[in-house]
Amino acid sequence: MDKPNWSELIKQLIERGYTEESIADAVDATQPAIHYLKTGKTQETKYSTGAGIIRLCTLNGISINHKKAPVTANN
């Protein structure tokens, strides 16, 4: 199973009106931890933080699967 792209997920939450601080509050993390995930400085996170980000994404209709569909002969 591929790891979630935390940076992309956080950026999509921000596009929906969240701030780094509001995401941090919602997932019981610090704002700097969210910032480091967003910028890619950190790529690993605590389970509870990751689960919280995924929960927020689910509640906001953000897909955590960013795989492109395979190219077929019909495309």
Q: Are 5 and 50 in contact (CB under 8 A)?
A: no
Percent of the chain with pLDDT over 90: 80
Q: Are 26 and 52 in contact (CB under 8 A)?
A: yes
Percent of the chain with pLDDT over 70: 85
> What pTM value is reported for the model?
0.83
State residue 2's pLDDT score.
82
State residue 73's pLDDT score.
55
Domains of the chain, CATH where assigned: 6-59 (1.10.260)
State residue 71's pLDDT score.
53
